[in-house]
Amino acid sequence: MRLLAVILVSLLIFQAQAQESDMPGDFLSKAFYKERRQKLRENLPPNSVAVFFANPVRNRSNDVDYLYHQDPDFYYLTGYKEANSLLMIFKDSQVSTNGARYDEIIFVQPRDVQAELWTGRRLGDSGVKDKLGLDQAFNNAEFKRYNIDFSKFAAVLFFDFHDDIRNDPRDSADMYDLVAQFKSKVNYPEKKIATLAMEPQKNNLDMKGLYPIMASLRGIKTREELEMIRKAVRISCASQVEVMKAIKPGMSEREVEGIHEYVFKKYQAEDLGYPSIVGAGHNGCILHYEENYKPSISNKELILMDLGAEFHGYSADITRTIPVSGTFSNEQKQIYELVLKAQEEAMKICKPGTPFRDLHLATRDAINKGLKELGIIQNESEKHRYYPHGCCHHIGLDVHDRGGRDKLEENMVITIEPGIYIPENAACDKKWWGIGVRIEDDYVVTKDGYELLSISAPRTVKDIEAMMKLPSALDDFVLPDLDKKN
């Protein structure tokens, strides 16, 4: 038995040493996360505790789970990337049973040689103390025995839980409702189904207070965060450039998606910031088209490509729309240049103090005026579906990141992304049908203006067409025809 224990300890030590050599050295420091926790503590109300839960593991199918992704708030405060964990940050210092004082505590999943053999290395409580600088770190089984009286706090702040089958009270046939209906039809013994309409209990639980606090913190990026975002944006721009050079009529949407994501991986982006959107022709008129399944794109089509690399947790969000043939048709060019003009109108007022809403109004007014001049709508105040979304959002640890929506502030990172989408059978001249254009760029709000982070991905008609004439490193990469029989 003693020999087995020695072997297990040796394996854990070996895994820890291997982890050191396998990991990149440019993650944010434990000092960064410590400062973020202190900033949160300063913003908490008197006599309160903020409680954060790690994201759950989500099942994909049978015994296969989705690749785990940490809750961004949890990651922002700790740098910890594992599941089954709980973080508490106290406004005031607490006293442990042995008399020690502390103002934060984390419970994490323990080291487990067998589990780590199958699913990867864990930090454990000692690793969290050493690597992430959380001195009060314990195995998650200890939480059950952790003696805390939550009733003593004036407020216990946390984000309300969401089921894997999200319940949307606006939708009478979402997954939650379908399950409830099934239970009622089979006489399931559960007599009452909880709803969001239930009267909240009168207690000290605060499920709203963390939203504005975390938005104010995460909406203003630090120097270290800007470095992560710049890297994610540069990688994403490189993929747009490579596709401009490599794309050819007859390629599939999935092949184009694959080129982008290959470039992401080549430059060490761990993940996608969001599912890739690659829509050719009329598919580009679907705002969040994610199937990317069209087997052959035509030289008469535009292809809209909205993709963002995630680097060390931080996401880019860039969209380019290009002609598959390498040259915009007259109609495509007119719509493209109208969208570009709308984006540049918003860029003119992108500076501290500008209301978020004004950016959208600038793009909307430019698009409506242009659509009228082209005869696509009858008047500028006409309600239409050709520009159905807003133009701006924060980016960071989430592609739609937390942040204030009142006025722009220095060191916010935002997108400006106007678009025009004219589907088949639209109420306009047929020559415009199937044209979908979005141009999306990433910006840091500076002291007196902005910095265009995604400048290396061509934006103008002239620059896109010039880039598409250049050779690609992938030109000679040809697979055998898999449809032919041997």
Instruction: Please tell me the distance from the alpha carbon of residue 477 to that of residue 403, in angstroms, as a whole number.
Output: 43
Total count of residues recorded for the chain: 486
Q: pLDDT tens digit string along 27-48?
A: 999 999 999 999 999 999 999 9
Lowest mean pLDDT among 133-147, 330-344, 455-469: 133-147
Q: Quote the pLDDT of residue 203.
A: 82
Q: Quick one: tokens of 442?
A: 């990433």
pLDDT at position 196: 42
Which pLDDT value is given to residue 2? 56
Tell me the Cα Rg of the chain.
Answer: 26
Q: Which residue has the tokens 């579906």?
A: 385
Whether the Cβ atoms of residue 88 and residue 153 lie closer than 8 Å to each other: no
- How confident is the model at residue 181, as a pLDDT? 77
pLDDT at 81: 97
Q: Which two tokens stand for residue 174?
A: 């979402």
pLDDT of residue 191: 47
Rounded Cα gap, residues 238 and 474, in angstroms: 14
Q: What value does the mean pLDDT of the chain take?
A: 90
Name the percent of the chain lying above pLDDT 70. Answer: 89
**Per-residue three-class SS string for the chain:** CHHHHHHHHHHHHHHHHHHHHHCCCCCCCHHHHHHHHHHHHHHCCCCEEEEEECCCCCEEECCEECCCCCCHHHHHHHCCCCCCCEEEEEEEEEECCCCCEEEEEEEECCCCHHHHHHHCCCCHHHHHHHHHCCCCEEEHHHHHHCCCCHHHCCEEEECCCCCCCCCCCCCCCCHHHHHHHHHHHCCCCCCCCCCCCCCCCCCCEECCCHHHHHHHHHHCCCHHHHHHHHHHHHHHHHHHHHHHHHCCCCCCHHHHHHHHHHHHHHCCCCEECCCCEEEEHHHHHCCCCCCCCCCCCCCCCEEEEEECEEECCEECCEEEEEECCCCCCHHHHHHHHHHHHHHHHHHHCCCCCCEHHHHHHHHHHHHHHHHHHCCCCCCCCCCCCCCCCCCCCECCCCCCCCCCCCECCCCCEEEECCEEEECCCCCCCHHHCCEEEECEEEEEECCCCEEECCCCCCCCHHHHHHHCCCCCCCCCCCCCCCCCCC
Locate 451 and state its tokens: 């910095």
What residues contact 482, with CB distance under 8 A and at least 6 apart? none
Q: Note the pLDDT of residue 7.
A: 47
**Gap between the Cα atoms of 239 and 468, Å rounded:** 13
Indicate if the pLDDT at residue 429 is higher than 80. yes
Is the pLDDT confidence value at 6 over 70? Answer: no
**Per-residue pLDDT tens over the stretch 52-98:** 999 988 889 999 999 999 999 999 999 999 999 999 999 999 998 88
HSE of 405, CA atoms in CB hemisphere, 13 A: 11
Mean pLDDT of 234-241: 98
Asked whether the beta carbons of 435 and 333 are under 8 A apart, the reply is no
Show Cβ contacts of residue 408 under 8 Å, excluding neighbours closer than 6 positions. 350, 351, 352, 353, 354, 355, 356, 414, 445
Residue 400 has pLDDT above 60, yes or no: yes
Which whole number is the average pLDDT over 353-371?
Answer: 98
> What distance in Å separates the CA atoms of residue 156 and residue 203, rounded to the nearest whole number?
9
For residue 170, the model assigns a pLDDT of: 78
Question: Rounded to whole angstroms, how far apart are CA atoms 352 and 148?
Answer: 44
Q: Where do the domains of the chain lie, and which CATH numbers do they carry?
A: 24-158 (3.40.350.10), 221-467 (3.90.230.10)
Residue with tokens 């620059």: 463
pLDDT digits (tens, 9 = 90+) for 299-316: 999 999 999 999 999 999
Provide the pairing of β-strand 155-158 with 48-53: parallel
CA 155 – CA 206 distance, rounded (Å): 6
Amino acid in position 110: P
CB 336 within 8 A of CB 321: yes
What pLDDT, on the 0 to 100 scale, is given for residue 183? 79
- Cα angle: 29, vertex 30, 33; to 5 degrees: 100
Q: What is the pLDDT of residue 316?
A: 98
The whole-number average pLDDT for the span 394-419 is 98
Q: List own/partner pairs for 15-22 with CB under 8 A and 24 or more apart.
A: 15/113, 15/116, 15/121, 16/121, 16/127, 18/121, 19/121
Model confidence at 195: pLDDT above 50: no
Which of 8-22, 61-75, 324-338, 442-456 bottoms out in mean pLDDT, i.e. has the lowest? 8-22
